[in-house]
Structure 1
Amino acid sequence: MSKQEKADPDEQTSEKLVELAKRRGYFFQSSGAYGGVGGFYTFGPQGASLKGNVEDAWRDRFAVAEGNMEIDAPTIMPEPVFEASGHLETFDDMLVECPECGESHRADHVVEDNTEYEDAESLPIPEVEEVIAEYELVCPSCGTGLAGQAVETFNLMFATNIGPGDSDPGYLRPETAQGIFVEFPRLKEYARNQLPFGVTQIGRAYRNEISPRRSIIRTREFTQAELEYFVDPEEDEPDLESVEDVEVTLYPASEQHSEGGDELETTIGEAVEDGIVGDEWVAYFLGIAKPWYESIGVDMDRFRFRQHLSGERSHYAADCWDAESEIDGNWIELAGFANRTDYDLSKHDEYSDDRFTIFKQYDEPKTVERATVDPDMSYLGPEFGGAAQDVVDALETLAERDRSAFESDVVEIELEGEGGGENEAETHEIPVEKAGFSVDEETIAGEHITPHVIEPSFGVDRVIYTVLHHAYREDEVDGEERTYLALEPEVAPTFVGVFPLQSDDDLESVADEIVSDLRKLGLSATYDDSGNIGRRYRRQDEVGTPFCVTVDYETIENEETTVTVRERDTTDQKRLPVEDLAETLAEIRDGDLEFADL
């Protein structure tokens, strides 16, 4: 069987892929019977299977292989959670509204799509407005000029209510991470209060995107696979030796700022040694992620890690690198690898009624000096009335922060006035003898520390799109054009297609038995007896099935029971004994055997 590759222009691939995805049951816009809803997609039978396989592969690598826990938290959380996390104030995108048709658009996307600016998200709003005016940018929907239109912030959170009547406000989570952070006081117990430890979660997240686009690349409901890894920033170090030789393509901020800056080809070890990746934990997870992406079928010639510019980093991140894939000449974000420091746990510790720290046991007890106050309430009560406790709190805080303030006869403290606010703070002098200040020695066995968080956060839907896009192929077989998906066996929705050559009870009986044997070994198999054998091959090729088994008359007439096994990419065929077929294909799926070596 002759096979000839035929190039497919990259800019056409997405259009063809979306059509294939809809026709073959990978994904399609939801609620089509009611006109569809922008930003919401349904994964069909093939897509749901592919998605499940990718999630299982992620779980195996980032949860099981790393020894991390997994949880499944609710998708709706009460408002105070997002007050603490900062999402209510900072989780915004830039919106510009067309004065003619009224359509709303992401202002940074309008700039990026029509100018040389690649990361307009990192620009301040006044500068985005200037760029729109300077380039005379227009509404993508109707072509009306947008110069002079105000660019405003738009919070992406989906609001809801919890309970009837005067119910409590809540939000659909914009990231799965907060479901992990708010449960930290209990999760640390499951980890026996020992750092480092990791908690993973695969689940839905929701963002009310201004202008969802490009099918499942930018949607309003999507799946995240996130790992929150809790570390002691002073003591815990990653196993860099295990990933130091992993080759990576990096696009650091310094190169993005430089005229003519370019990507760097290096290794994880060299990137850390040269200071390109400053955070060793982030570097470690980059080293894990790169071969994982390759194993599920992402084209490494179209893959890189790009460092966030300072203006585009999330409010919680000290540093962040994105895994990016090239689609139709554009780079899209697949994952973010961030050092979230102690931001999240400190915020929840401040806002909640629980403790978000871990007790760090010393190797040996330490003797430390501790400044304390024991105020004379018989003096403070009459002097300050209802504000006496505020005075005590101020004295305790000052003792911890600045002992020298108690060296004179009086100590000065500040209390907010009745109106509140910094401008109305009042200064009061307290006799030191009434403050009861002292410095005592104390032997302690350890201290409470707030762990730092390293977060690899993966967008599963974008990974699915990338895997399909990078797997899309067109070629010619025996003079006929063929479209196929060169999916990795590990993630392909169906691993084997089984066909009886013709409608014949004996052939069909053998085919049924083969399907049953394959499924018993955990191999996804489909039975197809519709149409000629060539059409059946084409159907399975188009959905990415790696192997097809044909039961023909040689199978039932010859002394040795054999079948024809066809490999998808090369279309090569081999006859294999039925007796060992399931075990042989299982070895191929597990990577222990190559089809070409049979």
Structure 2
Amino acid sequence: MSELETLTELAKRRGFFFSSNEAYGGTAGFYTYGPEGAALKRNLEDIWRDIFVRELGNMELEAPTVMPEAVFEASGHLDGFDDMIIECPECGATHRADHLVEDEIEDIEDAEAYEPTEVAELIATHHIECPSCGESLAGESVEEFNLMFGTNIGPGSSAPGYLRPETAQGIFVEFPRLKEYARNKLPFGVAQIGRAYRNEISPRRALVRVREFTQAELEHFIDPERDEPPIDRVADVELPLYSVANQNAENGGVETYTVAEAVDSGIIESEWVAYYLGRSMDFYERIGIDMDRFRYRQHLPGERAHYAADCWDAETELGGSWVEVTGFAYRSDYDLSKHGDYSKEEFTLFRQYDEPKTVERATVDPDMSYLGPEFGGAAGDIAAALESLAGRDRSAFDGDEVTVEVDGDEYTVPVERTGFAVEEQTEAGEHITPHVVEPSFGVGRLVYSVLVHSHGTDTVDDEERTYLDLPAELAPTTVAVFPLMTKDGLDDRAREVSETLREAGFEVAYDDTGNIGRRYRRQDEVGTPYCVTVDYETQEDGTVTIRERDSTDQTRVPVEGLPAAIAELVDGATLAEL
């Protein structure tokens, strides 16, 4: 079996993850995390919170997963959240067109950046066939398919909504209230860990491409003219970068730069993005990503989001191909501006000047006794259009008449009836729309990457062993407790030790089935870093054996000092240092 097939089999057998609804034939793109997987996922999320919420002093919220249609109309998801789909003319099966191209054409790794017509041409030129029935797909059109799950809020269809395709919008729409919690001061960050949904055309590769998944996202709101990241804190962190230039070069590959070098050379355009690339390295290392199978890849111009000036993906190597696990984007003021325009609410923040400024402002005071009789019901909209025009182009009022457009119709008003004037005003500050820096982590893909990267085999006592080299703080179980025998009170004593360790805050497994060697192998296979054995010597001198997973080394410690000893090991101590 391949590396990924082996891992998927282990995940199912040992309760990390498995296809959902198997009793009813299964549902593609949905996975259930079993007891081991749910614990591993929870620990990974806690490490993420530790770094991106607690250490950085950010807020965290939990927003609904169903949101009204207006939110996604404003965000652009209704028009631009599409994947390419092609339908087989023979069997009717639908496929992700860009994936077919990537699978069949060796030199193309990111067909998603291509136009649908280009993908259709590639399918025809390379004689790509339907994976389901073998029929040629040449000449079939490639269409765009919106990935959002639609629903109705309440009875009937008068209030359409969608399952959110990302957690970010749940943060953006609450900005008017969140800025109050931040005391109207920038910068501040808001984090969220939660479910998102995408109606994927062809779910595949276990947790890599699914229809329901968990994201851990941080939206960092900044003043683009005043706020700078603390680059000095990560300046010396080394980044494995796969830049656009190297992607386009014939023999280009990953090159290592410090954060400072990458910023100074212009390889990373946004200092904020560079800061979070550096900051995230600690997270990836803490959760056990193999850094020899990790890189940051810069988005090519064709795949870059319309709102982003510069984007980088963190990618892990899985089964011979690279998979995105995190996206880092400078989203500018796109999201807040859109929601402000659509909702008519204040998605801005007041920026105080260092000293009050005297400025000239163009104002209008339209003569409604003239506009009303002259233009009827359009008078109010015309007055608003005049005010808007005065703010952006005062020269329009230089003549005797001024023309404004309302709902596609033009209206001409005598300037003397507009009350146009230029006045000096003293202002203490101005309203600005913050910019947003976003690191967005795919939790399921990270769980999968950690399992693949930590999976290994070796030989112990002339027997092959399978193990997961998981960091202690990530492992589903911290310590397993075994009685050497289930007699002479050893099992009762082992249960007491288990309860003591649980009360000390550790995740503990108790196992008295089979011989000690088999029990060790079971715990190694699910990544438990430490095993404790209660034996006859425990009855004599009150000590137990601690066995370390990676080295299989053992040492004895007093039972009363066991919780402290396990805590030291989790913090990085070795058995020899106990």
* TM-score normalised according to structure 1 size: 0.94
Residue 452 (structure 1) aligns with? 435
Residue 5 (structure 1) aligns with? none
Report the Cα offset of residue 555 of structure 1.
1.5
RMSD: 1.3
Residue 568 of structure 1 aligns with an amino acid whose one-letter code is R
Residue 508 (structure 1) aligns with? 491
Match runs of 1:178-189 below 5 Å? 178-189=169-180
The structure, 1 or 2, with the larger RCO (C-alpha pairs under 8 Å, 6+ apart) is 1
Moved over 4 A (4+): none
1-structure distance, mates of 2:576, 2:34: 32
Report the Cα offset of residue 377 of structure 1.
2.4
The 3-state SS of whatever aligns with 2:193 is strand
Report the Cα offset of residue 435 of structure 1.
1.9
CA displacement 1:171-216 (0-9 Å, x = unmatched): 0000001111111111110110110000000000000000000011
2-structure distance, mates of 1:309, 1:135: 24
2-structure distance, mates of 1:13, 1:574: 34
Work out which of the residue numbers 235, 252, 255 in structure 1 matches 2:246. 255
Q: Larger deviation: 251-260 or 441-450? A: 251-260
Work out which of the residue numbers 37, 47, 51 in structure 1 matches 2:41. 51
Match runs of 1:162-241 below 5 Å? 162-241=153-232
Residue 308 (structure 2) aligns with? 317
Report the Cα offset of residue 445 of structure 1.
1.1
Report the Cα offset of residue 295 of structure 1.
1.0
Report the Cα offset of residue 12 of structure 1.
1.5
Report the Cα offset of residue 246 of structure 1.
0.5
Residue 71 (structure 1) aligns with? 61
1-structure distance, mates of 2:576, 2:344: 62
Residue 387 (structure 2) aligns with? 396
Work out which of the residue numbers 45, 63, 84 in structure 2 matches 1:94. 84
Report the Cα offset of residue 141 of structure 1.
2.1
1:370 aligns with 2:361: yes
Work out which of the residue numbers 7, 10, 15 in structure 1 matches 2:5. 15
Residue 6 (structure 1) aligns with? none
Match runs of 1:193-592 below 5 Å? 193-416=184-407, 420=408, 425-426=409-410, 428-557=411-540, 560-591=541-572
Contact 1:238 1:280 (C-alpha < 8 Å) held by counterparts? yes
Contact 2:554 2:575 (C-alpha < 8 Å) held by counterparts? no
Residue 457 of structure 1 aligns with an amino acid whose one-letter code is S
Report the Cα offset of residue 596 of structure 1.
4.2
Residue 7 (structure 1) aligns with? none
CA displacement 1:131-157 (0-9 Å, x = unmatched): 111111111222221111110000000
Q: Larger deviation: 132-141 or 253-262? A: 253-262
2-structure distance, mates of 1:414, 1:464: 55
1-structure distance, mates of 2:92, 2:577: 62
2-structure distance, mates of 1:271, 1:207: 34
2-structure distance, mates of 1:227, 1:596: 40
2-structure distance, mates of 1:131, 1:21: 37
2-structure distance, mates of 1:468, 1:553: 36
* Aligned-residue identity in percent: 66
Report the Cα offset of residue 53 of structure 1.
0.2
Equivalent residues, number: 577
2-structure distance, mates of 1:464, 1:522: 23
Contact 1:485 1:544 (C-alpha < 8 Å) held by counterparts? yes
The 3-state SS of whatever aligns with 2:229 is coil
1-structure distance, mates of 2:286, 2:302: 33
Residue 483 of structure 1 aligns with an amino acid whose one-letter code is T
Contact 1:90 1:315 (C-alpha < 8 Å) held by counterparts? no
2-structure distance, mates of 1:510, 1:353: 67
Residue 503 of structure 1 aligns with an amino acid whose one-letter code is T
The 3-state SS of whatever aligns with 1:170 is strand
Q: Larger deviation: 461-470 or 376-385? A: 376-385
Residue 97 (structure 2) aligns with? 107
Residue 481 of structure 2 aligns with an amino acid whose one-letter code is V
1:594 aligns with 2:574: yes
